[in-house]
Structure formats: C-alpha cells, structure tokens
Structure 1
Amino acid sequence: MKRKLALWILWVGFIAYLVFLAPPFHLDETLALLKNLLTLQWANINPIILSLFSLVGIWLLIYSSVLFIDGRMQQIPFWPFALASVVSGVLGLIPYLAVREPNQAFSGEKDAFLSLLDSRWFAIILSFSTIGLLAYAVFFGNWGDFWQHFRSDRFIHGMTLAFGLFCLLFPTVLYDDMSRRRWYSPEIFGIVAFVLLLGPLAYLWLRPPLPTRESWLIS
C-alpha cells in the first residue's frame, strides 16, 4: 500500500511540477523539434537532445521486456499503459506501476511477442543502440546549448526529468522479474538498481530465460 501511494504521489507531483513550476512551454518550437525528430531531419538538432529522445524510447523497450511478461499475470494488462507511454513517456508508465500487484509467477507458454522481449538478442540490440547514443551525445553534443534548453523549455526539461524517473523506478519491477526467473540475488539486484541505464541493459542481457509450462510463486 505504501508503494502504491508513493507512486501515485510521484505521478501527481510530477504533473503538478510540469504544469506550475517547469519552464515555459514553447509550442511552435516543440512541434518543429518533434517534426524534425520523426521525419529524420536531424542535422539541426543538438545530438544530446536527439540521443535523449531516443533513450526515452530505449527505456520504454526495457520496461516492456519486463512488464508485458508481468502483465500476463495481472488483472490489468500492461499494453494500454505501454501505448500511453509512447505518447506521454513516464507519465503513462507510473499508473501501471501503481496499480499492478507484486507477482513472481508466470503461467503458460510464451507467444512470439513475449519470446522476442525475453530473448538475449533483443537485449543485445538495445545495449549496442544505447552505447551508440551515449557516445554520440558525449562526443558530438553541445552541452551549453542543452543546458540552456533545459532551463528554458518545458519539453526538454520534462523529457530530461522523465529520463531520470525511468532510471529510478526500474527497481520497483526488478525483484519480481528476477524472482520469476529464480535468479534473485541481493548483490545482482543492487548492481542493476544503482548502475543507471547500463545496469538494466546488462540484466536483460544476462538474465535466464523465463520458465514456462508451470505457475509457481517464490515467497
């Protein structure tokens, strides 16, 4: 109950912060940026902003690789929240984290979609994509320009904070995923939780395949 309440408070608080305390929202500039991002016109976009936008998408895929499996055993499935997250980022994700119940079981067979999300190749592709995006931002990005946009533009400001929330919230689903694979270890949990972004990617790469054909619970 405390976890659920904390997540709802975080969700409402983040929305209130974006509405009342974040920098102004520049509609024309934001629409122009989104148009350039989605139409692959990246020449005039700061590599840091481009990488950050892409890394938010990486985070959605990381969570998807855990929560679509988790949603199989929940009363409320994950897919509506996944669709909401595509549009609203972490604001679409937090309500699912708040309404889901702790669960360390999986029943039945993996379909093709779950098999893809559970595969090591999926994790490897995400990992190399992330490393490329981080390198692109670090070596080619204009950090002064990014800082100026962070301080003056609500979209960039909110996207940056959302990225941070994605990092901080992953441990809320990590224990259940490790347990349903019979792979829980406090040491591994701590490393994955505290090595932001790269820790979850390494976890997806190294975790054992999901057991199937039976339903079981690890207490």
Structure 2
Amino acid sequence: MKELKSILLALWLLFISYAFFLAPIEGGKDVFLQHLFSAQYTDPLLMTVFSLLGIWPAVYCILLLENDRASIPAWPFALGSFVAGAFTILPYFVFHIEKRRVKNRTPERARLFLSNRGLYILLLLLTVVLMAFGLYYGDVNVYADMFMQSRFVHVMTIDFIVLTLLSMVAIAHHAYYLHERSQKLWWLGLIPIIGALIYLLITDNRQRVEEGR
C-alpha cells in the first residue's frame, strides 16, 4: 500500500509539473479553446473526450461517496474533480487511510441517489453513445494534430488516461466497504468509464441477490 501511495504521489507531482510547464502550445494561443468558446466546428472525437471528462467525475462521486468512511472526507476531492479531474482525485488516494468503523459522511438521500441502478445505466448508455459518435465521426489525425497544438487538449487527454488507470484503485476502494470478492474486479478499470459502471452494476446485483435471500 505504501508503495502504491508513493507511486500515486509521484504521478500527481509529475502530472502537475508537466501540465503547467511542459505541455505544448503553439503560437501562444490555444486553438481548441478558441473554437470551443466561439462555437466553431470542433472534431467529434475531440468533443467526445471533452464530454466524457464530464462523466468521469460523476462515476468517481459514486465510487468515493457511496461509502465515505476513510480517514479524510472524500467529498471535496470528488466534487473538485468536476473542475480539475485527476488533479484533485489523485491526492485523495495518496493521503487517505482506509477505515470501516468511521460513520459514513455522505447523507442518506445522497447515498440513495448515488446507489441508484438507473443512474448507472443512464451513465453507461450516455458513455456508449458518446464513444460511438466520436469514434465513427471523429478523425484521429485531427485529434493528433490538436494534441500537439493545444495545451488544453494535451492535458485533457492525459487527464482522461490517468482517470482511467486510477479507476482501478477507485474500484478496489469501493469494494473494500462492500464484498471482499468484489475487489477482484479492479481490472475492469482498464475499460474507460464503461468498466467502472459495469463493476457498479455487478455489485448492485450482488447486493440485491443477498438482500432477497
């Protein structure tokens, strides 16, 4: 566990340093942001990744807030991810300590909303539609060019990758408070967003089966 926290701390510091000092930008202006704010045409694949970065924080809110019982509150990090993505999620996993006896900090109404199976299915369908749209209509070459020209696209792409890899840790964290055997599903985090939502649907189904016994 200490080794993992050290790796995550190094990744966090490296990500911050790279994003602010090393990420490329041509001509002093960010082309993607100019197009975005002026409502000009933007490649569908670019818009898909941008949109999916709005879904990832919702998934992390479910994984972290359904059982917010660790040594430090998860809600500031989870809510902060809507603005800063992995920049705010990474430090939570670096500094928190797992505890089962601490009272859940998430209000009951919020827990009921976050544990709603319908919410998981809605997010899953939205993710699949966005991915299909971006992959079918998008242009990988345009994305690659923008990746090298736009600091925003460069950082958001890396942010998406980091959030995907970090979701394996988030799944294990969520499973810690549920079924121990659910921790074996950590590998689903390798599938961007969809894997985490499939994990939530699997664990929700297990809970329903056990409650029905």
CA distance in structure 2 between the aligned counterparts of 1:143 and 1:86, rounded to whole angstroms = 26
- Kindly report the root-mean-square deviation, in angstroms, between the aligned alpha carbons of the 2 structures: 2.6
CA distance in structure 2 between the aligned counterparts of 1:105 and 1:140, rounded to whole angstroms = 49
1:23-172 matches, within 5 Å, as: 23-24=24-25, 26-27=28-29, 29=31, 31-35=33-37, 41=39, 44-71=41-68, 73-103=69-99, 107=103, 111-172=108-169
Distance apart, 1:200 and its partner CA? 1.0
Tell me which moved more, 96-105 or 152-161.
96-105
The 1:185–1:87 alpha-carbon spacing in structure 2 relative to 1, beyond 3 Å, is closer
**Matched AA of 2:16:** I
Q: Contact conserved, 1:183 with 1:208, CA < 8 A, in 2?
A: no
Distance apart, 1:21 and its partner CA? 2.5
Pairing partner for 2:195 from 178, 192, 199: 199
- Equivalent residue for 1:11? 12
- Tell me, which stretches of 5 or more residues in structure 2 are unaligned? 208-213
- Secondary structure (helix, strand or coil) at the match of 2:23 reads coil
- Equivalent residue for 1:22? 23
Q: Contact conserved, 1:47 with 1:136, CA < 8 A, in 2?
A: yes
- Equivalent residue for 1:216? none
- Equivalent residue for 1:214? none
**Matched AA of 1:83:** L
Distance apart, 1:34 and its partner CA? 4.7
Q: Runs of 4+ in structure 1 displaced over 6 angstroms? A: none
**Matched AA of 1:89:** G
Q: Contact conserved, 1:118 with 1:210, CA < 8 A, in 2?
A: no
Query: What is the aligned length?
Result: 204
CA distance in structure 1 between the aligned counterparts of 2:101 and 2:46, rounded to whole angstroms = 39
Distance apart, 1:30 and its partner CA? 5.0
Q: Which has the higher helix share?
A: 2
Q: Contact conserved, 1:11 with 1:94, CA < 8 A, in 2?
A: yes
- Tell me, which stretches of 5 or more residues in structure 1 are unaligned? 212-219
**Matched AA of 1:152:** Q
TM-score (norm 2): 0.83
The 1:83–1:176 alpha-carbon spacing in structure 2 relative to 1, beyond 3 Å, is closer
The 1:172–1:186 alpha-carbon spacing in structure 2 relative to 1, beyond 3 Å, is closer
CA distance in structure 1 between the aligned counterparts of 2:84 and 2:29, rounded to whole angstroms = 16
The 1:164–1:118 alpha-carbon spacing in structure 2 relative to 1, beyond 3 Å, is same
The 1:69–1:105 alpha-carbon spacing in structure 2 relative to 1, beyond 3 Å, is farther
The 1:34–1:139 alpha-carbon spacing in structure 2 relative to 1, beyond 3 Å, is same
Q: Contact conserved, 2:182 with 2:203, CA < 8 A, in 1?
A: no
Tell me which moved more, 105-114 or 122-131.
105-114
Q: Contact conserved, 1:48 with 1:141, CA < 8 A, in 2?
A: yes
The 1:167–1:101 alpha-carbon spacing in structure 2 relative to 1, beyond 3 Å, is same
Distance apart, 1:75 and its partner CA? 3.5
Q: Deviations over 1:180-218 (max 9, x none)?
A: 22252465333x13334321121122213798xxxxxxx
Tell me which moved more, 23-32 or 134-143.
23-32
TM-score (norm 1): 0.81
Tell me which moved more, 75-84 or 87-96.
75-84
Give the share of equivalent positions with the same residue, in percent. Answer: 28
Distance apart, 1:50 and its partner CA? 1.0
